[in-house]
Amino acid sequence: MLKIGVIGCGFIGGQICRAIDKGVINAELYALSDSSKNKVLELTSSLKRYSPASMTIEELLKNVDFVIESASQKAVRLIVPQALEAGRDVMVMSVGALADEELRERLFRLAEQNNCKLYFPSGAVAGIDGINSASAAEISSVTLTTRKPPMGLAGAPQVEALGIKLETIEKETLLFEGPASEAVKAFPANVNVAATISLAGIGFERTKVRVIADPTLSKNVHEITVEGEFGKLSTRVENLPSPENPKTSYLAALSAISTLKKILSPVQIGT
Ligand SMILES: NC(=O)C1=CN([C@@H]2O[C@H](COP(=O)(O)OP(=O)(O)OC[C@H]3O[C@@H](n4cnc5c(N)ncnc54)[C@H](O)[C@@H]3O)[C@@H](O)[C@H]2O)C=CC1
Ligand SMILES: O=C([O-])CC(=O)C(=O)O
Protein backbone atom coordinates (compact mmCIF):
# COMPACT_ATOMS: atom_id res chain seq x y z
CA MET A 1 0.00 0.00 0.00
CA LEU A 2 1.21 3.50 -0.87
CA LYS A 3 2.85 5.12 2.18
CA ILE A 4 1.77 8.76 2.44
CA GLY A 5 3.52 11.58 4.29
CA VAL A 6 1.75 14.88 4.88
CA ILE A 7 3.70 18.11 5.45
CA GLY A 8 1.38 20.80 6.85
CA CYS A 9 -1.29 19.59 9.28
CA GLY A 10 -3.74 22.49 9.06
CA PHE A 11 -7.16 22.44 7.40
CA ILE A 12 -6.26 20.75 4.08
CA GLY A 13 -3.71 18.34 5.59
CA GLY A 14 -6.23 17.43 8.30
CA GLN A 15 -9.02 16.72 5.81
CA ILE A 16 -6.71 14.52 3.70
CA CYS A 17 -5.54 12.56 6.76
CA ARG A 18 -9.10 12.00 7.98
CA ALA A 19 -10.13 10.77 4.50
CA ILE A 20 -7.27 8.23 4.54
CA ASP A 21 -8.15 7.27 8.11
CA LYS A 22 -11.79 6.63 7.12
CA GLY A 23 -10.72 4.45 4.18
CA VAL A 24 -12.00 6.94 1.54
CA ILE A 25 -8.45 6.80 0.13
CA ASN A 26 -6.87 3.38 -0.04
CA ALA A 27 -3.39 4.26 1.22
CA GLU A 28 -1.37 4.11 4.42
CA LEU A 29 -1.02 7.32 6.43
CA TYR A 30 2.60 6.86 7.45
CA ALA A 31 4.05 10.17 8.66
CA LEU A 32 3.19 13.77 9.49
CA SER A 33 5.33 16.88 9.71
CA ASP A 34 4.49 20.45 10.72
CA SER A 35 6.49 23.37 12.04
CA SER A 36 4.02 23.33 14.95
CA LYS A 37 4.29 20.13 17.01
CA ASN A 38 0.83 20.85 18.46
CA LYS A 39 -0.77 20.64 15.02
CA VAL A 40 0.68 17.15 14.56
CA LEU A 41 -0.50 16.07 18.03
CA GLU A 42 -4.03 17.47 17.55
CA LEU A 43 -4.39 15.81 14.17
CA THR A 44 -3.01 12.45 15.33
CA SER A 45 -5.37 12.39 18.29
CA SER A 46 -8.37 12.90 15.94
CA LEU A 47 -7.53 9.74 13.95
CA LYS A 48 -9.00 6.33 14.70
CA ARG A 49 -7.26 3.83 12.44
CA TYR A 50 -3.76 5.20 11.83
CA SER A 51 -1.11 6.52 14.23
CA PRO A 52 1.27 8.23 11.82
CA ALA A 53 4.74 9.03 13.13
CA SER A 54 5.69 12.64 13.74
CA MET A 55 8.84 13.21 11.66
CA THR A 56 11.18 15.95 10.57
CA ILE A 57 10.90 16.78 6.89
CA GLU A 58 14.16 14.92 6.17
CA GLU A 59 12.98 11.76 7.97
CA LEU A 60 9.59 11.91 6.26
CA LEU A 61 11.14 12.20 2.78
CA LYS A 62 13.25 9.10 3.46
CA ASN A 63 10.36 6.99 4.71
CA VAL A 64 7.32 7.59 2.48
CA ASP A 65 6.42 6.89 -1.17
CA PHE A 66 4.21 9.91 -1.71
CA VAL A 67 4.57 13.41 -0.23
CA ILE A 68 1.73 15.89 0.24
CA GLU A 69 2.63 19.55 0.69
CA SER A 70 -0.22 21.39 2.41
CA ALA A 71 1.86 23.98 4.28
CA SER A 72 2.87 27.22 2.52
CA GLN A 73 4.59 28.61 -0.57
CA LYS A 74 7.82 28.93 1.46
CA ALA A 75 7.58 25.24 2.34
CA VAL A 76 7.30 24.33 -1.35
CA ARG A 77 10.70 25.90 -2.07
CA LEU A 78 12.28 23.94 0.76
CA ILE A 79 10.53 20.58 0.52
CA VAL A 80 9.60 19.84 -3.07
CA PRO A 81 13.11 19.87 -4.63
CA GLN A 82 14.36 17.54 -1.84
CA ALA A 83 11.34 15.25 -2.26
CA LEU A 84 11.89 14.93 -6.02
CA GLU A 85 15.64 14.38 -5.54
CA ALA A 86 14.71 11.53 -3.17
CA GLY A 87 12.55 10.04 -5.95
CA ARG A 88 9.18 10.77 -4.33
CA ASP A 89 5.95 11.72 -6.12
CA VAL A 90 4.58 14.98 -4.71
CA MET A 91 1.20 16.67 -4.52
CA VAL A 92 1.51 20.45 -4.14
CA MET A 93 -1.24 22.65 -2.66
CA SER A 94 0.69 25.94 -2.29
CA VAL A 95 0.93 26.19 -6.07
CA GLY A 96 1.62 29.95 -6.05
CA ALA A 97 5.29 29.15 -5.35
CA LEU A 98 5.56 28.04 -8.98
CA ALA A 99 5.19 31.62 -10.19
CA ASP A 100 8.96 31.72 -9.62
CA GLU A 101 10.20 30.65 -13.06
CA GLU A 102 13.54 29.35 -11.82
CA LEU A 103 11.88 27.17 -9.16
CA ARG A 104 9.22 25.97 -11.62
CA GLU A 105 11.77 24.90 -14.23
CA ARG A 106 13.90 23.25 -11.55
CA LEU A 107 10.95 21.24 -10.19
CA PHE A 108 9.81 20.12 -13.66
CA ARG A 109 13.41 19.12 -14.54
CA LEU A 110 13.87 17.21 -11.25
CA ALA A 111 10.56 15.38 -11.76
CA GLU A 112 11.67 14.28 -15.22
CA GLN A 113 15.23 13.33 -14.19
CA ASN A 114 14.02 11.30 -11.20
CA ASN A 115 11.02 9.77 -12.97
CA CYS A 116 8.60 11.31 -10.45
CA LYS A 117 5.16 12.85 -10.78
CA LEU A 118 4.11 16.30 -9.58
CA TYR A 119 0.38 16.75 -8.95
CA PHE A 120 -1.46 20.08 -8.73
CA PRO A 121 -5.11 19.53 -7.74
CA SER A 122 -7.79 21.86 -9.15
CA GLY A 123 -8.10 23.36 -5.66
CA ALA A 124 -10.91 25.78 -4.95
CA VAL A 125 -11.93 26.37 -8.58
CA ALA A 126 -13.92 24.57 -11.25
CA GLY A 127 -12.81 24.46 -14.87
CA ILE A 128 -9.19 23.23 -14.82
CA ASP A 129 -10.38 20.24 -16.89
CA GLY A 130 -11.78 22.60 -19.55
CA ILE A 131 -8.64 24.78 -19.56
CA ASN A 132 -6.48 21.66 -19.98
CA SER A 133 -8.58 20.60 -22.97
CA ALA A 134 -8.67 24.11 -24.45
CA SER A 135 -4.88 24.39 -24.20
CA ALA A 136 -4.49 21.68 -26.83
CA ALA A 137 -5.39 24.55 -29.24
CA GLU A 138 -4.89 28.35 -28.96
CA ILE A 139 -6.21 30.17 -25.87
CA SER A 140 -6.47 33.95 -26.27
CA SER A 141 -7.39 35.05 -22.74
CA VAL A 142 -7.86 33.75 -19.19
CA THR A 143 -9.31 35.83 -16.35
CA LEU A 144 -9.85 34.89 -12.70
CA THR A 145 -11.98 37.09 -10.45
CA THR A 146 -11.81 36.15 -6.76
CA ARG A 147 -14.20 37.63 -4.22
CA LYS A 148 -13.76 36.90 -0.52
CA PRO A 149 -15.25 38.26 2.70
CA PRO A 150 -12.74 40.92 3.84
CA MET A 151 -11.45 38.94 6.85
CA GLY A 152 -10.68 36.00 4.53
CA LEU A 153 -7.94 38.21 3.08
CA ALA A 154 -6.33 39.05 6.45
CA GLY A 155 -2.54 39.04 6.55
CA ALA A 156 -2.06 39.31 2.76
CA PRO A 157 0.99 41.43 1.80
CA GLN A 158 -1.19 43.46 -0.62
CA VAL A 159 -3.62 44.39 2.17
CA GLU A 160 -0.68 45.57 4.28
CA ALA A 161 0.89 47.42 1.35
CA LEU A 162 -2.38 49.29 0.71
CA GLY A 163 -2.70 50.04 4.45
CA ILE A 164 -6.35 48.91 4.35
CA LYS A 165 -8.23 47.99 7.55
CA LEU A 166 -10.31 45.04 6.38
CA GLU A 167 -12.83 45.35 9.21
CA THR A 168 -13.79 48.84 8.01
CA ILE A 169 -14.62 47.83 4.40
CA GLU A 170 -18.31 48.60 3.79
CA LYS A 171 -18.68 47.92 0.07
CA GLU A 172 -17.14 45.76 -2.67
CA THR A 173 -13.48 46.92 -2.95
CA LEU A 174 -11.01 45.99 -5.69
CA LEU A 175 -7.70 45.19 -3.93
CA PHE A 176 -5.70 43.87 -6.87
CA GLU A 177 -5.77 43.71 -10.64
CA GLY A 178 -2.85 42.30 -12.59
CA PRO A 179 -1.05 39.19 -13.81
CA ALA A 180 -1.16 35.90 -11.89
CA SER A 181 2.62 36.16 -11.33
CA GLU A 182 2.01 39.19 -9.07
CA ALA A 183 -1.34 38.05 -7.64
CA VAL A 184 0.15 34.97 -5.95
CA LYS A 185 2.80 37.12 -4.25
CA ALA A 186 0.28 39.79 -3.20
CA PHE A 187 -2.11 37.12 -1.82
CA PRO A 188 -0.01 33.99 -1.13
CA ALA A 189 -2.74 32.29 0.93
CA ASN A 190 -5.72 33.37 -1.20
CA VAL A 191 -5.13 32.85 -4.90
CA ASN A 192 -2.98 29.74 -5.30
CA VAL A 193 -5.77 28.85 -7.72
CA ALA A 194 -4.42 31.58 -10.05
CA ALA A 195 -1.19 29.57 -10.29
CA THR A 196 -2.98 26.32 -11.11
CA ILE A 197 -5.00 28.12 -13.79
CA SER A 198 -1.74 29.60 -15.19
CA LEU A 199 -0.05 26.20 -15.33
CA ALA A 200 -3.05 24.65 -17.11
CA GLY A 201 -3.53 27.52 -19.55
CA ILE A 202 -1.41 30.40 -20.84
CA GLY A 203 1.12 31.01 -18.08
CA PHE A 204 1.60 33.42 -15.22
CA GLU A 205 2.03 36.65 -17.21
CA ARG A 206 -0.97 36.32 -19.55
CA THR A 207 -3.43 35.07 -16.89
CA LYS A 208 -5.25 38.12 -15.49
CA VAL A 209 -6.45 38.20 -11.87
CA ARG A 210 -8.76 40.48 -9.89
CA VAL A 211 -9.11 40.18 -6.10
CA ILE A 212 -12.12 41.83 -4.47
CA ALA A 213 -13.03 42.15 -0.79
CA ASP A 214 -16.82 41.98 -0.47
CA PRO A 215 -18.41 42.51 2.98
CA THR A 216 -21.79 41.18 1.73
CA LEU A 217 -20.32 37.71 1.14
CA SER A 218 -20.09 34.71 3.44
CA LYS A 219 -18.51 32.53 0.73
CA ASN A 220 -15.28 32.54 -1.31
CA VAL A 221 -16.31 33.10 -4.92
CA HIS A 222 -14.02 32.30 -7.87
CA GLU A 223 -15.04 33.09 -11.44
CA ILE A 224 -12.99 32.01 -14.45
CA THR A 225 -13.46 33.14 -18.04
CA VAL A 226 -11.45 31.60 -20.86
CA GLU A 227 -11.59 32.40 -24.58
CA GLY A 228 -9.83 30.58 -27.35
CA GLU A 229 -10.13 28.57 -30.55
CA PHE A 230 -12.50 26.18 -28.75
CA GLY A 231 -14.98 28.98 -27.94
CA LYS A 232 -15.65 30.46 -24.49
CA LEU A 233 -15.76 28.91 -21.02
CA SER A 234 -17.08 30.48 -17.80
CA THR A 235 -17.19 28.91 -14.35
CA ARG A 236 -18.24 30.25 -10.96
CA VAL A 237 -17.94 28.51 -7.61
CA GLU A 238 -19.40 29.79 -4.35
CA ASN A 239 -17.25 28.03 -1.80
CA LEU A 240 -17.95 27.54 1.87
CA PRO A 241 -14.83 28.66 3.71
CA SER A 242 -13.21 26.27 6.17
CA PRO A 243 -14.31 27.10 9.74
CA GLU A 244 -10.68 26.51 10.83
CA ASN A 245 -9.04 28.69 8.18
CA PRO A 246 -11.44 31.15 6.47
CA LYS A 247 -8.85 31.89 3.76
CA THR A 248 -9.28 28.33 2.47
CA SER A 249 -12.38 26.86 0.84
CA TYR A 250 -13.65 23.38 1.70
CA LEU A 251 -13.58 22.48 -2.01
CA ALA A 252 -9.77 22.86 -2.04
CA ALA A 253 -9.42 20.04 0.50
CA LEU A 254 -11.95 17.93 -1.40
CA SER A 255 -9.96 18.42 -4.61
CA ALA A 256 -6.84 17.07 -2.89
CA ILE A 257 -8.78 14.02 -1.66
CA SER A 258 -10.24 13.49 -5.13
CA THR A 259 -6.80 13.79 -6.78
CA LEU A 260 -5.43 11.08 -4.46
CA LYS A 261 -8.40 8.83 -5.28
CA LYS A 262 -7.79 9.39 -9.01
CA ILE A 263 -4.06 8.57 -8.70
CA LEU A 264 -4.92 5.28 -6.98
CA SER A 265 -7.77 4.32 -9.32
CA PRO A 266 -7.43 2.25 -12.50
CA VAL A 267 -10.25 4.35 -13.99
CA GLN A 268 -9.51 7.96 -14.96
CA ILE A 269 -12.40 10.35 -15.63
CA GLY A 270 -12.00 13.87 -17.00
CA THR A 271 -8.96 15.54 -18.56
N1 LIG B 1 -4.38 25.11 -4.48
C2 LIG B 1 -5.47 25.66 -3.92
O3 LIG B 1 -6.52 25.82 -4.54
C4 LIG B 1 -5.42 26.11 -2.52
C5 LIG B 1 -4.25 26.14 -1.83
N6 LIG B 1 -4.21 26.54 -0.54
C7 LIG B 1 -2.91 26.57 0.10
O8 LIG B 1 -2.66 25.28 0.68
C9 LIG B 1 -1.84 25.41 1.84
C10 LIG B 1 -2.53 24.74 3.04
O11 LIG B 1 -3.76 25.38 3.29
P12 LIG B 1 -4.51 25.21 4.70
O13 LIG B 1 -4.48 23.80 5.12
O14 LIG B 1 -5.80 25.92 4.58
O15 LIG B 1 -3.53 26.07 5.64
P16 LIG B 1 -3.44 26.04 7.25
O17 LIG B 1 -2.88 27.37 7.63
O18 LIG B 1 -4.72 25.60 7.84
O19 LIG B 1 -2.34 24.91 7.53
C20 LIG B 1 -1.00 25.01 7.14
C21 LIG B 1 -0.17 24.20 8.11
O22 LIG B 1 1.16 24.10 7.59
C23 LIG B 1 2.09 24.37 8.65
N24 LIG B 1 3.30 24.92 8.03
C25 LIG B 1 3.46 26.14 7.47
N26 LIG B 1 4.70 26.25 6.97
C27 LIG B 1 5.34 25.08 7.21
C28 LIG B 1 6.65 24.59 6.94
N29 LIG B 1 7.58 25.33 6.32
N30 LIG B 1 6.96 23.31 7.34
C31 LIG B 1 6.04 22.55 7.98
N32 LIG B 1 4.79 22.98 8.28
C33 LIG B 1 4.45 24.22 7.90
C34 LIG B 1 1.38 25.31 9.60
O35 LIG B 1 1.88 25.22 10.91
C36 LIG B 1 -0.07 24.81 9.51
O37 LIG B 1 -0.34 23.81 10.48
C38 LIG B 1 -1.64 26.92 2.04
O39 LIG B 1 -0.42 27.34 1.46
C40 LIG B 1 -2.80 27.53 1.28
O41 LIG B 1 -2.55 28.86 0.85
C42 LIG B 1 -5.35 26.85 0.14
C43 LIG B 1 -6.56 26.83 -0.51
C44 LIG B 1 -6.69 26.51 -1.90
O1 LIG C 1 -9.54 28.27 -0.99
C2 LIG C 1 -9.71 29.20 -1.77
O3 LIG C 1 -10.82 29.78 -1.95
C4 LIG C 1 -8.59 29.65 -2.65
C5 LIG C 1 -7.34 29.87 -1.94
O6 LIG C 1 -7.30 30.14 -0.75
C7 LIG C 1 -6.11 29.76 -2.74
O8 LIG C 1 -6.19 29.49 -3.94
O9 LIG C 1 -5.04 29.95 -2.15
190 CB under 6 A from ligand 2? yes
The conformation of residue 249, written as its DSSP 8-state character, comes to: B
- Identify the pLDDT of residue 205: 98
Q: Would 95 be classed as within a structural domain?
A: yes
Q: Would 118 be classed as within a structural domain?
A: yes
Q: Would 270 be classed as within a structural domain?
A: no
Q: Is 115 annotated as a binding residue?
A: no
Q: Would 67 be classed as within a structural domain?
A: yes
Other CB atoms within 10 A of residue 113 CB: 10
HEC sequence for 190-223: CCHHHHHHHHHCCHHHHEEEEEEECCCCCCEEEE
- For the chain (271 residues), the mean pLDDT of every run of 10, in chain order, is 97 98 96 97 97 97 98 97 98 98 98 98 98 98 97 96 96 98 97 98 98 97 98 98 92 97 94 85
* pTM of this prediction exceeds 0.95: yes
Pairwise CA distance, residues 141 & 51, whole Å: 47
- Identify the pLDDT of residue 253: 97
* Burial call 222-234: b when 16+ CB within 10 Å, e when fewer: bbbbbbbeeeebe
Known catalytic membership, residue 266: no
Same domain, residue pair 92 and 152: no
Question: Which pairs count as long-range contacts for 107-114, CB under 8 Å and 24+ apart, including other chains?
Answer: 107/80, 107/81, 110/81, 110/84, 110/85, 111/84, 114/84, 114/85, 114/87
Domain span holding position 199: 128-247
Same domain, residue pair 238 and 256: no
Report yes or no: 223 and 229 within 8 Å, Cβ to Cβ.
no
Q: Which ligand is nearest to the CA of 6?
A: 1
Same domain, residue pair 206 and 174: yes
Q: Which one of 181, 222, 241, 254 is the catalytic residue?
A: 222
Q: Would 39 be classed as within a structural domain?
A: yes
Q: Would 269 be classed as within a structural domain?
A: no
Residue 45 belongs to domain with CATH number: 3.40.50.720
Domain count, the chain: 2
Residue 171 belongs to domain with CATH number: 3.30.360.10
Same domain, residue pair 157 and 208: yes
Same domain, residue pair 14 and 37: yes
The residue to mutate among 72, 146, 222, 254, having the most atoms of ligand 1 within 8 angstroms of its beta carbon, is 72
Same domain, residue pair 146 and 70: no
- Identify the pLDDT of residue 105: 98
Other CB atoms within 10 A of residue 216 CB: 9
How many H-runs (helices) and E-runs (strands) does the chain carry?
11, 11
Distances (CA, A) of 107 to 74, 126, 201, 239, 258: 14, 25, 18, 30, 23
Q: Which ligand is nearest to the CA of 244?
A: 1
Same domain, residue pair 33 and 107: yes
Q: Is 156 annotated as a binding residue?
A: no
Ligand 1 mean position, distance from CA 111 (Å): 22
